[in-house]
Chains A and B, each alone.
Chain A
Amino acid sequence: GAGVSQSPSNKVTEKGKDVELRCDPISGHTALYWYRQRLGQGLEFLIYFQGNSAPDKSGLPSDRFSAERTGESVSTLTIQRTQQEDSAVYLCASSPWGATDTQYFGPGTRLTVL
């Protein structure tokens, strides 16, 4: 079946512009996660959606970052007024129930801020 998909695969933007990154989780998965991976570093947790519960936003690095999820489907990560330090690969993952479930990752969106 289809895995987690993300779009765009690559995004180049100018400093100060807003960007939107999209994630389509595996159908039926109630939990959705966003992570950021800077060059040469491990993954950093950003935000976690679980069903209709309030999202865990504890990993968002600043108020320029926000994310939404429509029901138990598509999620959009928005970065406003992008900065060069936002350049990274943004990875989305989904899992059937959250918590201790295995997370399945999408291919990521490579964001470059000039």
Chain B
Amino acid sequence: SQELEQSPQSLIVQEGKNLTINCTSSKTLYGLYWYKQKYGEGLIFLMMLQKGGEEKSHEKITAKLDEKKQQSSLHITASQPSHAGIYLCGADARGGKLIFGQGTELSVKP
């Protein structure tokens, strides 16, 4: 079965700093989703990547899917306290359901 590994598991950065979160799959990715979760809340959809080499940006968040489609990275530029939360990568495991990484908890110090 396919597994997703996220790194790091947790991250503390100073406001204004850049950061990167990685998501590595044990199998080829056919659809890779990035979600953000605030404590006690549901998941907020950020971006979806499907094609090898694809890159998408929204505000200060950029996500990339590598050419081999087995790894994705999420990069935040000039982090702000509003970026704090748990970032989850999810993969289309075929048949509609998603499998998820264990999450990366981001804290941004003002």
Check B98 for interface membership: any CB of A closer than 8 A.
yes
B20 CB, min distance to chain A CBs, angstroms: 19
1/0 per position for A4-41, CB-CB distance to B under 8 A? 10100000000000000000000000010101000001
Q: Residue A50 contacts which of B30, B44, B48, B96 (CB distance < 8 angstroms)?
A: B96
Q: Which of A53-98 contact B (CB under 8 A)?
A: 56, 59, 91, 93, 95, 98
A48: B residues at CB distance < 8 A: 95-97
Assembled-state Cα–Cα distance A41/B40 (Å) = 14
Q: Determine whether the beta carbon of B88 is less than 8 Å from that of A31.
A: no
Q: Residue A59 contacts which of B4, B31, B97 (CB distance < 8 angstroms)?
A: B97
Q: Residue A105 contacts which of B31, B42, B50, B97 (CB distance < 8 angstroms)?
A: B42
Given contacts A33-B97, A42-B102, contact A91 B45 (CB under 8 A): no
Check A99 for interface membership: any CB of B closer than 8 A.
yes
Number of A-B contacts (CB under 8 A): 63
Assembled-state Cα–Cα distance A104/B88 (Å) = 14
B90: A residues at CB distance < 8 A: 43, 103
Q: Which of B26-82 contact A (CB under 8 A)?
A: 30-31, 33, 35, 40-45, 48, 50
Check B19 for interface membership: any CB of A closer than 8 A.
no
Q: Determine whether the beta carbon of A106 is less than 8 Å from that of B42.
A: yes
Q: Residue B88 contacts which of A43, A98, A102, A108 (CB distance < 8 angstroms)?
A: A43
Interface residues of B (CB under 8 A from A): 4, 30-31, 33, 35, 40-45, 48, 50, 88, 90, 92-93, 95-103
Interface pairs A-B: 6 shortest CB-CB = A105-B43, A105-B42, A42-B100, A107-B42, A43-B100, A42-B102
19 contacts across the A-B interface (CB closer than 8 A):
A33-B97, A41-B102, A43-B100, A45-B98, A45-B99, A48-B95, A91-B42, A91-B43, A93-B43, A95-B96, A98-B96, A99-B95, A99-B96, A100-B92, A104-B45, A105-B43, A105-B44, A107-B42, A108-B40
